[in-house]
């Protein structure tokens, strides 16, 4: 009987390995498709930009030609009325010039129509590529969840979780949170530094061309713009690193790090006003408390900016000898606290963080009236 059980376990492991191999291969294929789509998207975007620049020139040329054609027609009208006053050569040249201008205008129209058709086609294809890239990113994220679940050893969790259902839910929740964070980081890097550096490369080629065609003065202007783009890219990289783990948290503690973080976020979201008030004691806490409280406030502020579109946020922190109280209040869209939504996982995660600190958290919100988050955590002696 024991032998049969061993064979079954081995068969399950073999099936599991085959599934992992298949899923890994599929993930790689989807990633390649996604990368190719991104390259095609960037190339088409550049082509579309070129077409738009050409359209501007064509429209200007069209206006010039139409003006010239009108003058030529007026000239022909004058010739026909005073035919005897002009030589045969002058008449022929006037007709040939009018004909040539009309031909040039017709060619301009045809070329403009071709560019308009091509622009419309590129815009349709870009829309399709954008949808494909989003779908590929979603699939990669979902496949990563499956992969991590297949490869994770959930036996260690079995001692702490009483049944298989709870064990499965807990494991998937952790994996989903990890994948969501990776996806957010990937999106931040792609939309921020990666895009900026791509523009830097394009502008570096432009500097060389401007120097050759327009001289050093114009080239220096482009270099100035070039430097601004590099500084902006560096700022984005530092912001992302700061969001991952503020180094000042280890060196300075919770309050100075919060003050700096909120100031940085306010500068980045220049349309939002963020106020920070610290009352009472200002002292260092155990590392796990400082990290957890920083993440809770960070999550609340990001939710207010990203989901509630708040333009005003107030963070109030009060520390006494025995407990720490935090209030994060915004004037955003608010939400119905009685309605459970799929995206409430963020709130669940915040509750779990506070429970680990043996504290309490409460949410007050009304649609159109903003949201208030109250956190109370006991401070260890």
Picking from 197, 214, 237, the residue at the C-terminal end of a domain is 237
Spatial distance between the Cα atoms of 145 and 261, rounded to a whole number of angstroms: 31
Contacts of 323 (CB under 8 A, 6+ apart): 376, 377, 378, 379
Q: How far is CA 377 from CA 18, 141, 289, 321, in A?
A: 48, 34, 9, 12
How confident is residue 161, by pLDDT bands cut at 50, 70 and 90? very low
Same domain, 127 and 250: no
Is residue 113's pLDDT more than 50? yes
- Confirm if 197 and 233 have CB atoms less than 8 A apart: yes
Same domain, 250 and 232: no
pLDDT of residue 7: 41
Average pLDDT on 261-279 reads: 86
Picking from 192, 209, 237, the residue at the C-terminal end of a domain is 237
pLDDT of residue 278: 92
- Name the β-bridge partners of 330: 313, 371
How confident is residue 184, by pLDDT bands cut at 50, 70 and 90? low
| Domain assignment of residue 87, given as a range | 2-237
The total number of structural domains in the chain stands at 2
Same domain, 133 and 255: no
pLDDT of residue 175: 65
Same domain, 277 and 164: no
Q: Which of 168-172, 198-202, 346-350 has the lowest average pLDDT?
A: 168-172
Same domain, 32 and 7: yes
Which of 255, 283, 248 is closest to 381 using CA atoms?
283
DSSP assignment of 254-316 equals: HHHHHHHHHHHHHHHSTT-EEEEEEEE------HHHHHHHHHHHHHHHHHHHHTS--SEEEEE
Same domain, 193 and 297: no
Same domain, 355 and 232: no
pLDDT of residue 196: 72
Looking up residue 336, the CATH number of its domain turns out to be: 3.30.565.10
Same domain, 281 and 152: no
- Whole-model pTM above 0.85? no
Is residue 170's pLDDT more than 60? no
Average pLDDT on 88-95 reads: 82
pLDDT of residue 341: 52
> Using alpha carbons only, how large is the chain's radius of gyration in Å?
32
Contacts of 257 (CB under 8 A, 6+ apart): 246, 248, 249, 290, 294
Is residue 316's pLDDT more than 60? yes
How confident is residue 141, by pLDDT bands cut at 50, 70 and 90? confident
Same domain, 230 and 264: no
């Amino acid at each position: 009987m024991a032998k049969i059980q061993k064979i079954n376990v081995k068969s399950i492991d073999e099936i599991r390995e085959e599934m992992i191999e298949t899923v890994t291969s599929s993930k790689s294929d989807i990633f390649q498709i996604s990368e190719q789509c991104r390259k095609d998207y960037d190339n088409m975007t550049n082509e579309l930009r070129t077409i738009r620049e050409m359209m501007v020139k064509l429209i200007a040329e069209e206006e010039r030609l139409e003006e010239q054609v009108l003058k030529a027609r007026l000239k022909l009208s004058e010739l026909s009325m005073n035919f005897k006053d002009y030589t045969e050569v002058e008449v022929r040249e006037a007709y040939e010039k009018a004909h040539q201008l009309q031909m040039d205008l017709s060619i301009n129209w045809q070329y403009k129509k071709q560019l308009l058709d091509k622009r419309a086609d590129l815009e349709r294809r870009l829309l399709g590529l954008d949808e494909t890239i989003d779908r590929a990113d979603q699939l990669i994220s979902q496949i990563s969840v499956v992969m991590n679940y297949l490869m994770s050893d959930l036996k260690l969790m079995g001692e702490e979780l009483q049944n298989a259902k709870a064990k499965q839910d807990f494991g998937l929740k952790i994996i989903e949170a990890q994948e969501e964070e990776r996806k957010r980081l990937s999106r931040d890097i792609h939309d921020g530094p990666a895009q900026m550096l791509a523009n830097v490369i394009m502008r570096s080629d432009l500097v060389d061309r401007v120097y050759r065609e327009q001289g050093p003065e114009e080239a220096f202007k482009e270099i100035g713009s070039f430097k601004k783009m590099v500084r902006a890219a560096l700022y984005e990289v530092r912001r992302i690193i700061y969001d991952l783990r503020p180094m000042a948290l280890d060196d300075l503690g919770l309050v100075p790090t919060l003050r700096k973080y909120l100031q940085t976020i306010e500068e980045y979201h220049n349309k939002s006003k963020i106020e920070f008030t610290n009352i009472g004691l200002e002292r260092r806490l155990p590392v796990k408390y400082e990290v957890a409280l920083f993440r809770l406030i960070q999550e609340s502020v990001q939710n207010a900016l990203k989901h509630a579109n708040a333009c005003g946020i107030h963070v109030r922190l009060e520390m006494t000898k025995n407990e720490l109280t935090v209030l994060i209040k915004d004037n955003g869209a608010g939400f119905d606290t009685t309605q459970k939504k799929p995206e409430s996982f963020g709130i669940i995660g915040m509750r779990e963080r506070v429970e680990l600190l043996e504290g309490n958290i409460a949410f007050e919100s009304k649609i159109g009236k903003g949201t208030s988050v109250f956190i109370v955590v006991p401070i260890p002696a």
